[in-house]
Amino acid sequence: MSSQPQRVALVSGASRNIGRQIAIALARNGYAVACFGRDQIALDETAALVRAAGSQASVHVGDVADDAAIEGFVQSAAETHGGIDLVVNNAGVMREARIADMPPTEFRRVVDVNLVAYYVLARASYPELRRRGGVIVNIGSLFGFVGVAAAAAYCASKAGVEGLTRALAVEWARDGIRTFCIAPGYVESEISRAALAEPEKRKRIVARIPLRRTATPDEIAEFVTFLVSPKAAFFNGETIVVDGGQRIQI
């Protein structure tokens, strides 16, 4: 009897932090992982960790804001690994600036990376996901639910991710594709680094989190692996905020 083909995951922003940990966690759960990002050296490191976890890996260098690069990534990954079962839209960028001080070009860049690229990657992967019955994971943010000074572009883009998630879930469920969004709060990652690097600011942030700590990238990754598994097969279209209870606290 022939064995089942290995499941294949595409992970954008796989160079480091949450994206890297998601790639490793998926490898431990039987996925080959196609890693996409702009940093060749960091992607090679992620791929080595995926292989060390016992799975296949491929590296694809490009900018998620480049539609052609995304489409080429999808085609190359499908050819390399034989198909696509899972897409993880994780790439993200943060630009801190007051609304009156942020040039429209910078606002558009954030939206292009954090939202439009998610649409492009999902759309390009659709034929393969439909053929095999797949899952799309969009990484949102707590900031998509709240207003934060000097973070208008990030807040707007992440709110858009939630809306895109719902639309994909409704439209593509009939094709056997599940879509959901995970919205982390403060994580020990590059995007949060500036805020968490200042001791007093970190103290204020942690004081607003009922669990009194930030999350680690691997905690987000392990949550992803559960929701893409058959154990969560009826979960579709929802956004889960993983923030230690920060959003619900008055």
* The pLDDT of residue 191: 82
Per-residue model confidence as pLDDT tens digits over 161-200: 999 999 999 999 999 999 999 999 999 988 887 788 889 9
Report how far residue 162's alpha carbon sits from residue 160's, in angstroms, rounded to the nearest whole number: 5
What the block records as the tokens of 135 is 């899952």
Q: What residues contact residue 78 under an 8 Å CB cut-off, 6+ apart?
A: 8, 84, 128
Q: What is the CATH number of the domain that holds 56?
A: 3.40.50.720
Residue 134 lies in a domain: yes
Residue 1 lies in a domain: no
- CA of 229: how far to CAs of 30, 48, 216, in Å? 11, 24, 21
What the block records as the tokens of 63 is 């900018």
What the block records as the tokens of 173 is 């469920």
* The pLDDT of residue 249: 86
pTM: 0.96
Per DSSP bridges, beta strands 57-61 and 31-37 are parallel
Which one-letter DSSP state was computed for residue 231?
Answer: G
Residue 247 lies in a domain: no
Residue 195 lies in a domain: yes
**Residue-number span of the structural domain to which 131 is assigned:** 7-242
Q: Using 50, 70 and 90 to split pLDDT, how confident is the model at 4?
A: low
pLDDT at 5 over 80: no
Report how far residue 172's alpha carbon sits from residue 208's, in angstroms, rounded to the nearest whole number: 37
pLDDT at 2 over 50: no
What the block records as the tokens of 182 is 């995970």
Residue 36 lies in a domain: yes
SS3 42: helix
Per-residue model confidence as pLDDT tens digits over 34-57: 999 999 999 999 999 999 999 999
Residue type, 232: A
pLDDT at 12 over 80: yes
Per-residue model confidence as pLDDT tens digits over 123-152: 999 999 999 999 999 999 999 999 999 999
Count of structural domains within the chain: 1
Residue 2 lies in a domain: no
Residue type, 98: R
Contact 8, 82 (CB under 8 A): yes
Annotated active-site residue 31? The verdict is: no
Query: Closest Cα partner for 83 from 135, 22, 129?
Result: 129
Report how far residue 14's alpha carbon sits from residue 181's, in angstroms, rounded to the nearest whole number: 17
Residue 206 lies in a domain: yes
Residue of 118, 119, 126, 154 with catalytic role: 154
Report how far residue 111's alpha carbon sits from residue 191's, in angstroms, rounded to the nearest whole number: 15
Residue type, 178: R
H/E run at residue 2: none
